Structure 1
Amino acid sequence: MADPFKLRDYQGELITQTRDALREVNSVLLQCPTGGGKTALAAFMAGSAAKRGNRITFGVHRRELIKQTAKTFDKVGIPYGIIANGFTGDRHQLVQIASIETLRRRLDWYPRPHLYIPDEAHHAGAATWAEVIDSYANKGPKGEPSAKIVGLSATPERLDGAGLGRWFQKMVLGPSPAWLIDQGFLSPYRLFAPSMPDLSGLKKNGADFARGALGERMAGASIVGDVVKTYRELAHGRKAMVFCVSIKHSLAVVEQFQRAGYRAAHIDGDSPNRDELIAAFESGKIEVLSSVDLVSEGFDLPAIEVAILLRPTHSLSLFLQQVGRVLRPVYAPGYDLETREGRIAAIAAGPKPYALILDHSANTIDREKGGRGHGLPDDERPWSLEGRERKKRGAGGEDEEAAVTTRQCPQCFRVHRPAPICEGCGFEFPSMGRTVKELEGELQEVERKTAQVERKREQAKAQTLEDLIAIGKARGMKNPHGWARHVHNARNQKTQQRYAR
């Protein structure tokens, strides 16, 4: 691959825009999607500022992210110290990688930085984060000048949708996930929502579900069993990361996968053998790695081929952080990664031609259908320092948002953008309008759901390709032969997969 310190063209443009913004204000939020290279941007900014004799502090909130950032800085030759419990620091280095919690307690131990870069800056509203940012944004106790602040985030808003304008004065927007996928910087994906949990009556803790009750509900035998069954049908043998609600929930999932004959393991922030587990997962010795929040933010593990979502959440940020883990591409060697065509060919030839997302949490499903309504990973989202616009209140007193336009195939459970035919199995959706039928002089409405069931039954009864073609012609399709072949081939493929197991 190319020199890791060589910025991509769009990254260079983001650096230029950020520098221009810092000439006008002291605090800037740099938004860039998960997998867009935020750590590389931070390394470039830190290295450039240090060459001019400036002090830089890069703030993170997890021990794993300290190690990951340190590896990146090592690769590009940036000397650094570490401010965190359990690490030997070096106060003489201009660049410091800091645990934000430790940094808050030691603000007066180190000289104030000229540039402070908090990673995952959507947490800025948390007390610890806000205290550090406010301290550096103001002059020091001895009149030291305020620092320049560049926050990094893929999802620049708080859990409740509130903006971050209290801490940042300008926002620099990066490319969209859809553009990064099209250019080969992220992997294409397929998304299925094979089952939906019943979360009625669950209590909330703030704006999201209360973890205790949610963990008990999601650890039910029927849900976990369905997860293993779906993995076997859609992702057998591919490296999967499971996102769970709690450690207890994660351990239950691991046990079920192991009973089914899969090599599965649990990993969390306190696992003493984290590095060994990750190495085993990358090599294929472990097929399924189950976690809670360890890999939700800033965790770079391109080997993940399948993301299994078992954590229902109202947080758009948490949802995008989780699905972003599986969108990182794995490039096959021998291709020109400097061109879009080379990157796309390298993904297609590698071990992960596409990412697979199994959304058992219904996070992608529209709210009107009982889901969380976050939409697809590469939907366009209008990020703003003011946050999301508040919508009208629903019957339960909660703020409602406009419905996210996703469609789920009732036949193969694939979730996709609205289309008349499922892009996965060829299922033809009934007309969005209602069918009106005349019986004995009276008009009676046939609800869409009823019509949909009838059409599905009719299609299921078709045993041969000719039967399917006849149905396509009867429905007035423009290309009944093509649709019939698509459905027929999909059936044959499923049958072959069953016998192969």
Structure 2
Amino acid sequence: MQVLRNERRVAGEVSSMRITPRQYQSEDLSALRIAARSGARRIIFEASVGYGKTIIMLLVAMAYVSVGKRVLILSNRTSVIEMLRDEIGESDLIKIMTVQSAVNRLDIIDKPAVILIDELHMGGAAGQYRSVFEVFENALVIGFTGTPKAALFEVFDAHVQAKSARWLTDHGFLSPLKYFCPETIDFSRIRTVGSDFDEDELVDAMERSDICGDAIESYRQHCVGRPTLVFTVNIKHAKAVQEEFQAAGIECETLTSEDDEDETARKIALLKSGGLLISVDRVSAGFNVPALHAIISLRPTRQPHLWVQQLGRVARLAEEKVCGWVFDHAGNTLRNGTLTEDRDWRNGDQVDDERQTEEGERLSVRVCSCCNFAWEGAATFCPECGHENGQDRRISKRKAIQLREQEAADIEAARQAAAAAARRAQGKAKTFKALAAEIAKRPGTRNIHSARASASKILAARMRKAVEEGRTEEAEAIHADLAANGHRKVADETLADIEAAV
């Protein structure tokens, strides 16, 4: 669109605000302009945490304002709105509000030329935002997110992929992360409700394990005196974890949805000063503490979106920060990958069967058996401690299915071969004792008495066939054999039946 070319006109204003777009942001802004010029009306702008999405939003907003057009900026969370108001500011032409407020004021909001949505993944694009889109159907909509959900691609008609977390890390714009994944519990028996673990079962399993004690040890060894964030399942779990840390002599606070603005500000200030903060999902997105030293995950999830957002909290650059530390006591790194892993959000970041184990672990990530350090790639030497881990013996889900199918086929083939061999051996057994001995070897034969009973029936059938075919001597020999081994009654009854039939 023509108006998006005006970012050059406002570059001076941006510079005066001490906000200068980086080269990669200018390149991605050009891609956004091309998408809008091509006729797209709803565009997803996918950019990793730490990318600087606010600068793109500011440039777009000022480009519209510079030609007298109105801008509406929305988000799903009040904390994000407050941050945007601080960083961008409101005016007669720029309005910033939660989507809930916008929905309630649709009849009095001046029609915007462009709608900018921050943290798009946190809102119901097919729900809450839809009513806004319908009322302001002529507005260009740009949704900003680092983890677009698959459903968003059905609502938006264009997708601009900005620089990825891997690119930003490789070029020094994000802090590299170090992952440690100690052994955790078996989650295979925990039900899945919707797209994630059942919350009640998850809390019960976590509280019955020794995982919190392991997390306390991780904190003591690597995090004391440094800003550290612990992610938990829910408020009940957060408070239980807080009690365990405090019982171990470690001061900490919990941050939950029950806290008001003042309490939230106080607790985040404590975190920034080097404290330990235990949270649920209040700080998974829209939270900016660059100096955060580490996260400790006690919140297992099957949702890559949530895990990536949590990793993003510790990936921002800060002075004297060499790297961000991730202590994953919940199996999320193996289950959902690393921050820098390439992802296909349009497909819900589903990993095909060749790239994951039957238990849902990603084969792209390995964990050192010596120090628990996790890394991407097929290297056998641990990048952290140098331990030689040898060949990765995990196999893909598809391979596991193939092996099970092959095993079942092999078992069936072996069963059939054994049955054929038993039939051949049975056919070669000419006497009662030899036949009973062969039958006793067959799987499923209860005892020797059962084998003898079966042998008598088989010999009786052979005697009948010999008589019918005129092999009198053979029939008499079988009769004598049965009689000698205690089965005269069977032999006599068989002969009587034959004579009666004749």
TM over 0.5: same fold?
yes
Gaps of 5+ in 1: 81-92, 139-145, 332-349, 366-371, 394-398, 435-501
**Counterpart AA for 2:270:** A
Residue 56 (str. 1) matches residue 71 (str. 2): yes
Query: Matched residues in 2 for 1:205 and 1:42: separation?
Result: 36
Query: Identity across aligned pairs (percent)?
Result: 32
CA RMSD of aligned residues (A): 2.6
SS of the residue corresponding to residue 107 of structure 1 reads coil
Aligned length: 374
Q: Is the 8 A contact 2:74 2:97 kept in 1?
A: yes
Query: Matched residues in 2 for 1:167 and 1:15: separation?
Result: 22
Report deviation, 1:133: 4.8
Deviations 1:309-352 (A, max 9, x none): 11111111111000000000112xxxxxxxxxxxxxxxxxx1x2
- In structure 1, which of residues 206, 210, 216 is the aligned counterpart of residue 204 of structure 2? 216
Deviations 1:273-310 (A, max 9, x none): 111111222123xx211111111112111121101111
**Counterpart AA for 1:97:** I
Deviating more after overlay: 410-419 vs 176-185? 176-185
Query: Matched residues in 2 for 1:110 and 1:191: separation?
Result: 47
- In structure 1, which of residues 381, 399, 403 is the aligned counterpart of residue 343 of structure 2? 381
Q: Is the 8 A contact 1:304 1:325 kept in 2?
A: yes
SS of the residue corresponding to residue 364 of structure 1 reads helix
Query: Matched residues in 2 for 1:128 and 1:433: separation?
Result: 45
Q: Is the 8 A contact 2:253 2:277 kept in 1?
A: yes
The residue number in structure 1 matching 2:34 is 20
The residue number in structure 2 matching 1:420 is 380
Report deviation, 1:190: 0.7
Query: Matched residues in 1 for 2:73 and 2:363: separation?
Result: 36
Residue 153 (str. 1) matches residue 138 (str. 2): no
Query: Matched residues in 2 for 1:44 and 1:275: separation?
Result: 29
Report deviation, 1:169: 1.1
The residue number in structure 1 matching 2:278 is 290
The residue number in structure 1 matching 2:4 is none
Query: Matched residues in 1 for 2:44 and 2:230: separation?
Result: 30
**Counterpart AA for 1:114:** A
Gaps of 5+ in 2: 1-14, 395-502
Residue 174 (str. 1) matches residue 174 (str. 2): no
Report deviation, 1:112: 2.1
Q: Is the 8 A contact 1:243 1:309 kept in 2?
A: yes
Deviations 1:216-270 (A, max 9, x none): 3223351211110122123333211011110111112222222222221111233
The residue number in structure 1 matching 2:323 is 354
Q: Is the 8 A contact 2:178 2:325 kept in 1?
A: yes
SS of the residue corresponding to residue 254 of structure 1 reads helix
Larger Rg: 2
Report deviation, 1:432: 4.8
The residue number in structure 1 matching 2:239 is 251
The residue number in structure 1 matching 2:90 is 79
**Counterpart AA for 2:166:** A
Query: Matched residues in 2 for 1:207 and 1:433: separation?
Result: 28
**Counterpart AA for 2:389:** F
Report deviation, 1:208: 1.1
Report deviation, 1:183: 1.8
The residue number in structure 1 matching 2:432 is none
Query: Matched residues in 1 for 2:55 and 2:108: separation?
Result: 28
The residue number in structure 2 matching 1:132 is 131
- In structure 2, which of residues 286, 296, 301 is the aligned counterpart of residue 308 of structure 1? 296
Query: Matched residues in 1 for 2:364 and 2:109: separation?
Result: 50
The residue number in structure 2 matching 1:430 is 390
Residue 30 (str. 1) matches residue 45 (str. 2): yes
Using structure 1 for the length normalisation, give the TM-score: 0.70
- In structure 2, which of residues 332, 340, 360 is the aligned counterpart of residue 363 of structure 1? 332
Deviations 1:111-138 (A, max 9, x none): 2211111222234655543423532563
The residue number in structure 2 matching 1:121 is 120
**Counterpart AA for 2:78:** R
**Counterpart AA for 2:115:** Y
